[in-house]
Amino acid sequence: MMDAAGKPAPREFGEMQRAEDKSLSGLLSGLELRGQTWCYSDLGQDAGFSVPPGDAVLFHAVLHGSARIACAGGAMVELGVGDVVIVLSGEAHALRTSPAAPASTHAFLRDEAEVDIPPTLAIGPGRTTARVLSGKLRATWPGEANRATLPALLSLNQNDAGPLAALLRPEALPLAGIGPGSAALLTRLAAMLLMAGLRADPRCRQLFSPARQDPIADALRLIEANPAANWTVERLARSVGMGRSNFAAHFTQAVGRAPMEVVAEQRMEHAAGLLRQGKLKIAEISELAGYGSEAAFSRRFTRHFGLSPSQMRERERRVADKPAAAPPAFQPLLAGRLGQGTAALARQHRPATPRGSGPRQQGSGVLLGFKRD
């Protein structure tokens, strides 16, 4: 579709997201894990095991205690309860409960013994200080994916698993490994967790998915959808598949604001909307806007609007019978990422000026109507 100037018309956010999801889903649907080589390893205080190199994918989940995994290629990760690592490269690696612990070859994993119910194997003397669930599986990769370009080690925890986070609770995987058919069930769960890890890891997302249409627009949409979330520049960058520094530079250049400035501004608009409803205490609104301190929230709110929260609430009560305020200025910002001009946005979305105060200063870029700190 072409616009009036003969240029390709921008696609709506929903259309962009559906196109990307379809492409990524098409790739991930071709990923399969097979095998029934599963076991529990109970590790002593100074114990460990190693896995020789091969073509298989190794899955390790810490169910109790802590351990460290080190790969031959140099990757190393400290693991706690609920953490999962998936060795995608097939390279040799070792898990230990202490840095100097011996790590002899894990014979069960080396031999790929297939079972129906995972056995429990004791490794090292003394009481058990860590329990690890391990699986050795064969993978079929999508034709478009080059396994050699994937990271050697993919780590996953409850924060990365998204809708599958419940699978990483300490009791979830042990329950799945109980009773007949549990090895097959664990393999299915491992495939789901692998897909979640590939989606969450920026390196993998860049390899599996086509070039993103507009990651900055995606970041703006994430902020708008949940302004009170514990956003950081790193978390936003990770969510849209970019590195932290690269994301921050592109965001600031495109929007005219640093990412955390936009987060703070959208939180203020969210808080103002809650105040207009008149149903919540200011302390509750502070928390819902992502602030742990009511005092810090009030200071930021006053700087942003020129009115304290209580003053704005009183003003809204006095004008409750009048038409609602114009849409928050964050909407023009989001729309601006879809190709609208600044002048048109200014005409369509002119934020209301609080009674008794002067007009707000316009920000740079396409962000309109926000007062600078």
Do 189 and 317 sit in the same domain of this protein? Answer: no
Q: Among 156, 176, 208, where does a domain finish?
A: 208
Report the C-alpha gap between 279 and 339 in whole angstroms.
Answer: 37
pLDDT digits (tens, 9 = 90+) for 212-239: 468 898 899 888 888 877 889 998 998 8
**Looking at this protein, which amino acid is placed at residue 61?**
A
- Whether the predicted pLDDT of 363 surpasses 60: no
User: Which of 9-23, 45-59, 192-206 has maximum average pLDDT?
Assistant: 45-59
Task: Supply the pLDDT for residue 35.
Answer: 93
Tokens of 26: 């098409």
Q: Among 208, 241, 275, where does a domain finish?
A: 208
Q: Is 253 helix (H, G, I), strand (E, B) or coil?
A: helix
Do 204 and 308 sit in the same domain of this protein? Answer: no
The CATH number covering residue 272 comes to 1.10.10.60
Q: For strand 32-43 and strand 57-64, is the pairing parallel, antiparallel, or unpaired?
A: unpaired
Do 218 and 132 sit in the same domain of this protein? Answer: no
Q: Which uninterrupted H or E stretch holds 201? A: none
- Whether the predicted pLDDT of 335 surpasses 60: no
Report the C-alpha gap between 43 and 21 in whole angstroms.
Answer: 41
Among 140-149, 206-215, 256-265, 305-314, which is the least confidently predicted range? 206-215
Q: For strand 120-123 and strand 32-43, is the pairing parallel, antiparallel, or unpaired?
A: parallel
Q: Does residue 5 lie in a domain region?
A: no
- Whether the predicted pLDDT of 132 surpasses 90: yes
Q: Does residue 268 lie in a domain region?
A: yes
Do 253 and 358 sit in the same domain of this protein? Answer: yes
- Whether the predicted pLDDT of 191 surpasses 70: yes
Do 129 and 53 sit in the same domain of this protein? Answer: yes
Which residue range forms the structural domain that includes residue 233? 212-373
Cα–Cα distances in angstroms (integers) from residue 22 to residues 29, 96, 162, 196, in the given order: 10, 40, 18, 15
- Whether the predicted pLDDT of 171 surpasses 80: no
The CATH number covering residue 88 comes to 2.60.120.10
Do 170 and 312 sit in the same domain of this protein? Answer: no
Q: Where are the alpha helices (DSSP H) in the chain?
A: 13-28, 107-111, 172-176, 182-200, 202-208, 215-225, 233-239, 244-255, 259-277, 282-288, 294-305, 309-318, 330-336, 342-348
Q: Does residue 11 lie in a domain region?
A: no
Do 306 and 201 sit in the same domain of this protein? Answer: no
User: Which of 117-131, 298-312, 333-347 has maximum average pLDDT?
Assistant: 117-131
Report the C-alpha gap between 158 and 367 in whole angstroms.
Answer: 35
- Which has the closest alpha carbon to 317: 266, 276, 286? 276
Mean of the pLDDT values across residues 13-42? 69
pLDDT digits (tens, 9 = 90+) for 238-272: 888 888 999 999 999 999 999 999 999 998 988 88
Indicate the number of domains in the chain.
Answer: 2
Do 225 and 98 sit in the same domain of this protein? Answer: no
Do 266 and 287 sit in the same domain of this protein? Answer: yes
Do 191 and 227 sit in the same domain of this protein? Answer: no
Q: Does residue 4 lie in a domain region?
A: no
Bridge partners of residue 96, in order along the sequence? 48, 68
What pTM was computed for the model?
0.51
Q: Which residues of 44-79 are buried (b: 16+ CB within 10 A; e: fewer)?
A: bebbbbbbeeeebbbbbbbbbbebbbbbeeebeeeb
Report the C-alpha gap between 95 and 107 in whole angstroms.
Answer: 14
Task: Supply the pLDDT for residue 115.
Answer: 94
Task: Supply the pLDDT for residue 87.
Answer: 93
- Whether the predicted pLDDT of 59 surpasses 60: yes
Task: Supply the pLDDT for residue 368.
Answer: 32
Q: Among 181, 208, 235, where does a domain finish?
A: 208
Tokens of 93: 């690696």
DSSP state of 165: G
Do 198 and 218 sit in the same domain of this protein? Answer: no
Q: Does residue 199 lie in a domain region?
A: yes
- Please say whether the beta carbons of 88 and 153 come within 8 A: yes
Do 63 and 186 sit in the same domain of this protein? Answer: yes
